[in-house]
A and B are shown apart, each in its own frame.
Chain A
Amino acid sequence: MKELLIILVASSIVNNVVLSQFLGLCPFLGVSKRVETAAGMGGAVIFVITIASFVTSLIYKFILDPLGLSYLQTIAFILVIAALVQFVEMFLKKSVPALYRSLGVFLPLITTNCAVLGVALNNVSYGYSILQSVVNGFATAVGFTIAIVIMAGIREKIEFNDVPEPFKGSAIVLVTSGLMAIAFFGFSGVIK
């Protein structure tokens, strides 16, 4: 239990997926203009990464590893993730239309998101069990949501500020992310 808690804190805050590992940067920069949209994206990412880390660790534990095919992990994971996202999209559309309306738009954008593949590969390289992988996936995605929602909140304020001409657009967002990364650096001593 303690171990799971450590993974939860480490992956969501200490090693924040966006601000210290630079994964999932595309949606972080692109879909963070409004808090509402950012939260929707965060929800979709939590949903997809948690399911994806469960499925990929199942595949690794029961198919790739026993058969000595672990060198196929990159190919297998990316295809599984791409198929999974499409499947989840179809499933939600049919069975949970309310959830689909709030997350559906973002699902296709996550298909080739490096955060999803990155978490799956990390789970293998850290040697996590299936339960640990799911917790790690969930925590990483929560970290992503924290970062993107904070960012969207700041960006809504930046719109009213007088930003120097060349820094308008993505440059000022990157400066802001740098400052956020410094803030998150403060957590780095929490877990060894």
Chain B
Amino acid sequence: MNSIKERMINGLFKENPTFILMLGMCPTLAVTTSAINGIGMGLSTTVVLSLSNLLISLLRNVIPDRVRMPAFIVVVASFVTMVQFLVQGFVPSLYASLGIYIPLIVVNCIILGRAESYASKNPPIPSLFDGIGMGLGFTMSITIIGLVREILGAGQAFGVQILPLADAATGKPGFTPITIFVLAPGAFFVLSLLVAVMNVVRKKAEEKGKPLPPAQGCLADGCVGCGFAASCTGKSTAELSQLIESKPAAAKKSAESVSDKKEGEE
């Protein structure tokens, strides 16, 4: 019982996938144009995450270590397909607004990340609740981001007009929506503010001597940071980033020698 509660709190707050671990940024940016979309995407992800965690944990002793990534992907993709049809059948309006991002749950870092780092090493019940906790943490975060964008961009919350709009024709004073926030650029701005705020929080926590878990996803170290890029290639994360960094080093050298020459001429 204790571990269930611990898993839920872990997913919702301590290792919140969006705010703390910074995983799954593609859907976070793409579907948070409104709070309702955030909830829909979050819950679909939660269902996939908890069921795939459960199944992968049950199969953890059966799946050979060498083919675990393809096996995980098949499990996740099957659940995603099921969820896709359920959403299409029962909530067609949500399906229309989420569109291609529902099948793309397959490549969401959170899901394969949890499968790799938790479900493949732990018994089924904690894994199930790890999935539920992480999923709800993700749902909560992207709903909050969606809400912020919706209020700033349209003056609405959950589709209800909460800020009365200004009307230039009648001279009625009110809120002028900052439309850019529900468009693509707004997503980048909101996320950048979020990252900046988390940088401050992280620093404060470190000063207090209680450091937060490190960010793992795209924002930390590119694809290299996404745990399973490493497991797909059989190279460690450090090796991969070294490979990428070593390439431009040669180019930099030649550029430096050119600039040296120029300085010499002067």
Residues in chain A within 8 A of chain B (CB atoms): 19-23, 25-27, 29-31, 33-34, 36-37, 40, 71-75, 78-79, 82, 105-106, 108-109, 111-114, 117-118, 121-122, 125, 164-175, 177-179, 181-182, 185
- A-B contact number at CB 8 A: 159
The B74-107 residues at the A interface (CB cut-off 8 A) are 74, 77-78, 80-81, 84-85, 99-100, 103-104, 106-107
Q: Which of A23, A25, A181 has the most CB of B within 10 A?
A: A25
Question: A174–B229 Cα gap in the complex (Å)?
Answer: 22
Question: A33–B223 Cα gap in the complex (Å)?
Answer: 13
CB distance from A53 to the nearest CB of B (A): 14
Query: Which chain A residues border B180 with CB–CB below 8 Å?
Result: 182
Chain A residue, CB-CB nearest to B228: A112
Main secondary structure of the interface of A (DSSP, over half): helix
Question: A178–B29 Cα gap in the complex (Å)?
Answer: 11
User: In the bound complex, do residue A168 and residue B100 qualify as a contact, i.e. CB atoms below 8 Å apart?
Assistant: no
User: In the bound complex, do residue A181 and residue B184 qualify as a contact, i.e. CB atoms below 8 Å apart?
Assistant: yes
Question: A173–B219 Cα gap in the complex (Å)?
Answer: 10
Query: Which chain A residues border B77 with CB–CB below 8 Å?
Result: 74-75, 78-79
Q: By the criterion of a CB under 8 Å from any partner CB, how many residues of chain B are at the interface?
A: 60
Q: Which of A34, A36, A75, A121 has the most CB of B within 10 A?
A: A75
Residue B197 interfacial (CB < 8 Å): yes
Known contacts A22-B187, A40-B247, A74-B106, A178 near B225 by CB under 8 Å: no
Residues in chain B within 8 A of chain A (CB atoms): 25-26, 29-30, 69-70, 73-74, 77-78, 80-81, 84-85, 99-100, 103-104, 106-107, 109, 112, 180, 183-189, 191-193, 195-197, 199-200, 217-226, 228-229, 232-233, 235, 240, 243-244, 247-248, 251-252
User: In the bound complex, do residue A26 and residue B192 qualify as a contact, i.e. CB atoms below 8 Å apart?
Assistant: no
Query: Which chain A residues border B74 with CB–CB below 8 Å?
Result: 75, 79
Question: A118–B100 Cα gap in the complex (Å)?
Answer: 7
User: In the bound complex, do residue A167 and residue B196 qualify as a contact, i.e. CB atoms below 8 Å apart?
Assistant: yes
Query: Which chain A residues border B200 with CB–CB below 8 Å?
Result: 166
Known contacts A34-B251, A105-B247, A171-B199, A26 near B106 by CB under 8 Å: no
